[in-house]
């Protein structure tokens, strides 16, 4: 029997999070906030199928994502994959532990490609707070310059900051000309969607830096598990030297003790983004792959 899919909706949140909690690995792609905020862009749909949730992307073409749930239970992964994936169709963003299970069941039936651009970057929270040693010398220097130059205030993000963040995001997009670049335009829509529905999500947290009463930076994160915080969005206003180092370090300082690791998502094979993420010295990656029948 084929899966029945429906568009991602806020009403799915509680049920979906139960499946995500059971998943042995929790990549950034599969957080509910990510699925919901990007669903209009990718045309994402869900199908709840006994022990797993299956995810289908319909734009720009039909593509399947990896299922979410406890892959270790006795489930017919091979049968479901063969039912749903037509010859040559792809299943993308497959975490490495799940790939090993599928590969063991379907050896010789699938081709595998490494999706380096979708690997999640993992960092130790304590390292991002302390910024010790030569590896973090530039970051620490820029942070100190910011703190010395600007009379700033840090605030935990709440609904009272939403309008201010929306205004800063609009200014940031004007500066970066979001309308001229599809990726930035899509991200802006996802950010705006999340901010406008701030009170609707279970695990969102964030922070903001104000300088002279104006928002200079904000960051939005999600508690992905008991030991990992996921950073969804992080924006700083141009003109404040060291603003990104400041919002990163101060926010990590606030959450230290409540989580051990921070997932800062992927680089999508963007050379500049990869260089920036590597400069913070990741301790590990969540590796992902794509498979085809």
> DSSP secondary structure string, 2-46?
----EE--GGGHHHHHHHHHH-S---GGGSHHHHHHHHHHHTEEE
Same domain? For 45 and 16 the reply is: yes
Q: Do 168 and 198 fall into the same domain? A: yes
Same domain, yes or no, for 11 and 98? yes
* Cis preceding linkage at 288, omega within 30: no
Is 208 found in the same domain as 83? Answer: no
275 assigned to some structural domain: no
pTM of the model: 0.95
**Is the pLDDT score of 253 beyond 60?**
yes
What is the arithmetic mean of pLDDT over 83-102?
A: 88
CATH code of 219's domain: 3.40.630.30
**Strands (DSSP E) found in 96-213:** 111-114, 120-124, 152-156, 204-211
| Count of the separate structural domains present in the chain | 2
Q: Is 292 within the bounds of a domain?
A: no
pLDDT digits (tens, 9 = 90+) for 111-143: 999 999 999 999 999 999 999 999 999 999 999
- Highest mean predicted confidence (pLDDT) among 75-84, 88-97, 105-114, 200-209: 200-209
Are 36 and 78 part of one and the same domain?
Answer: yes
Residue 274 is predicted with a pLDDT of 97
CA 126 to chain centre: 20
Q: DSSP secondary-structure letter at 259?
A: B
Rounded CA separation 221/71 (Å) = 26
E strands within the chain? 6-7, 44-49, 52-57, 63-65, 68-69, 90-95, 111-114, 120-124, 152-156, 204-211, 214-223, 228-236, 261-263, 284-286, 288-292
Q: Where is average pLDDT lowest: 34-38, 42-46, 123-127, 179-183? A: 179-183
% pLDDT > 70, the chain: 98
User: 235 lies in which domain range?
Assistant: 121-265
Residues 53 and 88 in one domain: yes
Same domain flag for 82 and 152: no
**49 lies in the same domain as 154:** no
Q: Are residues 173 and 80 in the same domain?
A: no
pLDDT at 73: 75
């Amino acid at each position: 029997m084929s899966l029945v899919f429906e568009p991602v909706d806020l009403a799915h949140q509680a049920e979906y999070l139960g499946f995500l909690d059971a998943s042995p690995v929790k990549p950034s792609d599969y957080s509910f906030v990510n699925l919901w905020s990007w669903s209009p862009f990718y045309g994402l749909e869900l199908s709840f199928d006994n022990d797993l949730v299956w995810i289908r992307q319909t734009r720009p073409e039909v593509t399947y994502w990896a299922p979410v749930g406890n892959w270790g239970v006795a489930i017919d992964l091979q049968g479901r994959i063969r039912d749903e994936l037509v010859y040559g169709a792809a299943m993308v963003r497959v975490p490495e532990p799940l790939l090993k299970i599928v590969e063991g069941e379907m050896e010789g039936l699938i081709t595998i490609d490494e999706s380096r651009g979708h690997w999640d970057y993992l960092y130790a929270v304590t390292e991002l707070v302390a910024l010790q040693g030569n590896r973090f010398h530039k970051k620490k220097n820029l942070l100190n310059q910011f703190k010395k130059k600007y009379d700033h205030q840090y605030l935990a993000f709440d609904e009272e900051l939403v309008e201010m963040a929306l205004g800063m995001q609009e200014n940031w997009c004007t500066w970066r000309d979001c309308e001229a670049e599809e990726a930035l335009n899509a991200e802006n829509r996802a950010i705006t969607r999340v901010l406008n529905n701030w009170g609707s999500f279970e695990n969102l947290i964030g922070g903001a830096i104000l300088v002279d009463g104006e928002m200079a930076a904000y960051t939005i994160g999600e508690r992905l598990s008991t030991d990992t915080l996921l950073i969804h969005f992080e924006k700083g206003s141009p003109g404040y030297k060291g603003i990104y180092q400041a919002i990163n370090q101060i926010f990590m300082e606030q959450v230290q003790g409540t989580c051990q690791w921070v997932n800062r998502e992927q680089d999508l094979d963007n050379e500049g983004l990869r260089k920036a993420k590597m400069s913070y010295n990741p301790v590990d990656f969540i590796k992902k792959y794509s498979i085809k029948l």
